[in-house]
Amino acid sequence: MDRPLRRLALAAFLLAALPLAHADKAVTPTAATATQGGYQLPPAPLQALVDAPRPPAVSLSPHRDLLALTQTPALPGIDLVAQPELKLAGVRINPRTYAQSRFSFGSDLWLLDIASGKDIRLTGLPQPLSIASSVWSPDQKYIAFNQVNAMAGTNELWIVDVAARSARRLTSQPLNTVSGRGYAWMPDSQQLLVQLRPQGQGDAPVGNGIPTGPNTQETKAGGGVKSIPTYQDLLHSEDDARVFAHYLTAQTALVDLQGKVTPVGEPTMTLAVRPSPDGQYLLRQRVERPFSYVVPVENFPRRIEVIDLAGKLVKEMAHQPLIEGLPTGNDAVRTGVRQIDWRADAPATLVWAEAQDGGDPAKAADIRDLVLMQSAPFSQQPTTLARLSSRYAGAYWGNGDVALIEEFWWKSRKIKEWRVAPDHPEQSAKLMHEGTSEDRYNDPGTPATRPDERGQSRLMFTADGTSIFRLGDGASPEGDRPFVDKVNLASGQATRLFRSEAPYYEEAQALLDTEGARLLTSRETPDEPTNFYVRTTAAKSAPVALTHFAHPTPQLRGVKKEQIRYKRKDGVELTATLYLPPNYNPKKDGPRPMLMWAYPAEFKSADSAGQVTGSPYRFNRISYWGAQAFLAMGYTVLDNFSVPIVGEGKKEPNDTYVPQLVASAEAAVDEVVRRGVADRNRIAVGGHSYGAFMTANLLAHTRLFKAGIARSGAYNRTLTPFGFQAEERNYWQAKDVYMTMSPFNYAGDIKDALLMIHGEQDNNSGTFPIQSERLYAAIKGLGGTARLVMLPNEAHAYRARESIMQMLAESNAWLEKYVKNAPAAPKAPAATK
């Protein structure tokens, strides 16, 4: 899938759009005020946000003449979210379906013909439809999809016959999707490579609950300093290990279009298996004992092997040991074979990286990574394709003469892109781009790719082979203006084929021909939702609409959105998106209560930190998840206000985290008060995860806000001693930083009302539920004002409809009590001459 389409598909699952008219009259909240009680409902305008329809996910066919659209259903109920779930080795497993626990499933599937713009409906789809994933066959004749019904305990493989416009189940033997998608098309489109539940496997082992002895761990001196993140859902006993091994064990098999199953080797604890582009070999990664109680399955011992279609071992590429921690630093990696995959433009050639500095960024080294290749029959020594001064970050494969290799170094944020000739590795690499990951203004864009006849993603070339294409966000001081460029490979000169123009935000999703003459784009405005179009780049005429998704609720057309710019006192330029409710006139109606929402980000450059993000022309998609929801309740909203934490040169950003955080908040508050859209005495601040950490710190170190809403945060950094967010140093290397940044240490200084919401089953590294529990207890014990809401069966992001309703009810009641009904700021005296 093209990069923008992948982003849209994700957004379709995460965002719920519902415009609602603002009511000036206060709405009595229905949230519970008692500590205990059943699930509560927020006021009707907020309920409507939760139940609003969401846009479908979109997938472009290999021949680029059809779209597959998958409808996102309503949020699941708590009855589904509360289904049995195993938390083992960093994986959450539904034991009934032998699948990873997930709750975003497609509830409808249909096709759209790009030439005519007509929908194509399908027959034979299972009911109720519950699509976990779907993939086009390389020849476009079929779509395979994974039907998972958690309530029925089924996990099935289905295919759609595109010509017949009908669907059917391919095999009755259930899939195992505990690791990965569980199926992939073979290059000939006649078979699928699948992971099945082994026949006769039996039920999972059940312990009797009687310990056979203590669970012990031991470390030995001399192993060096290792960073071990605070992982969740780890194994705790041998009983856990046996259960995990049972659910991870799968039978690799080939399934043809008639449903015939041909096993490939014996069942193994398989992490991943991928066919070579010519379909003659399989690259398999499987887990071995011993397991670990301190790291997840990704760090367990594994064998990386090439096998044939009968399951016979052809070549062992690596036997990786258990990795319980890496050297300190975000640029640290494991030694040996890393990021191994097939070269997309060759029949059967493997490409991988190997660190040359022991994986330790603290060691001096001119060459950090080698990029190596080895071709079937894998008997020759590997060939060196590239020598990199930083870490290998992936490749785009075109043909034997052109591939693009990317490298990245986190410490400096430096990125490089090289052109290499894979069939002639002796030729010198050519530098195509050099910059930093923070510099959005000078980002040349992502190389455009498309699947070849074998389903492999390859660079798109012009017909004469002299140029490639790039699709970019087009960040600029006036906001994002997506573009498409044609780039000459010899000279590097870029010819702009398309750039989004006001008053639209239009983004190229894919090129429909080899010259960039026709594009599939998505287009939107603040009042018009995203729809898909076909645009001719040479013509000045308007693009032709393919879809006609209606505005989810026309009442929100009156919301005003403005991208605003202002400065921090140290001169750093800041950006935010200001939203005003419908029918609100600041000059006539005066300042309103405001909710501000943000997520801090670290930078190595003040110039990059000050770059504009976002676009004033994006659709006002009001989600239940963010601060914009409270536009429906009459609040003004400052969303995504910049909180850059800058550490230029050898300085570390977090060494001055608190003063930079406070300065950013002060600048934002001063700006919205200056504009007359916020009452200085009635402003709340909020955020999720690292934004919650920010919120608690702002309440601890300022009196700028009457209240805070902190969701699923971490507040005591000694509980994440081996780094957090972008912090590379461990606690023992930067004790003062960890202590100063922890709002838990300043709980007695939190004088304004803090609402904390947390999922009881938070699976995010670092944001254990105990973080909220301990901060709440500290504030309570020190006489502060706080409320703690723990959501049953919820992880880091909340899933159940009941949980989301409760989140909104609690937030609304908190804002009503401590912000909307707080005394307004006195009016400034009239100016005198």
* Structure token pair of residue 758: 């947390």
Task: Tell me the DSSP string of 34-72.
Answer: SSS-S-----HHHHHHHT---PPEEEE-TTSSEEEEEE-
Annotation says 762 is catalytic = yes
CA–CA dist 9, 2 (Å, integer)? 11
Do strands 183-185 and 91-94 pair parallel, antiparallel, or not at all (unpaired)? unpaired
Which 3 state secondary structure label does DSSP give 690? helix
CA–CA dist 315, 281 (Å, integer)? 10
The answer to whether 264 and 253 are in contact (CB under 8 A) is yes
* Structure token pair of residue 675: 């504009």
What are the residues facing 435 on neighbouring strands? 415
Of the candidates 471, 460, 466, 457, the one whose C-alpha atom is nearest the C-alpha of residue 508 is 471
* Structure token pair of residue 409: 């170094």
Of the candidates 415, 422, 332, the one whose C-alpha atom is nearest the C-alpha of residue 372 is 422
Peptide bond between residue 377 and the one before it cis (omega within 30 degrees of 0): yes
Whole-number CA gyration radius for the chain: 27
**How many residues make up the chain in this entry?**
833
How far apart, in Å, are the Cα atoms of 39 and each of 34, 624, 762, 810? Answer: 12, 17, 19, 10
CA–CA dist 596, 601 (Å, integer)? 16
* Structure token pair of residue 495: 């010819």
Please state the φ and ψ torsions of residue 606, each to the nearest 5 degrees. -65, -35
Annotation says 689 is catalytic = yes
Question: Choosing from 689, 712, 742, 803, which is the catalytic residue?
Answer: 689
b/e per residue 78-110 (b: at least 16 CB within 10 A) = bebbebebbbbbbbbbbbbbbbbbebbbbeebb
Residues with Cβ within 8 Å of 241's Cβ and at least 6 positions away in sequence, in order, are 235, 291
Annotation says 570 is catalytic = no
Taking every pair of Cα atoms in the chain, the longest distance, rounded to a whole number of angstroms, is 92
The answer to whether 628 and 678 are in contact (CB under 8 A) is no
Active site residues: 689, 762, 796
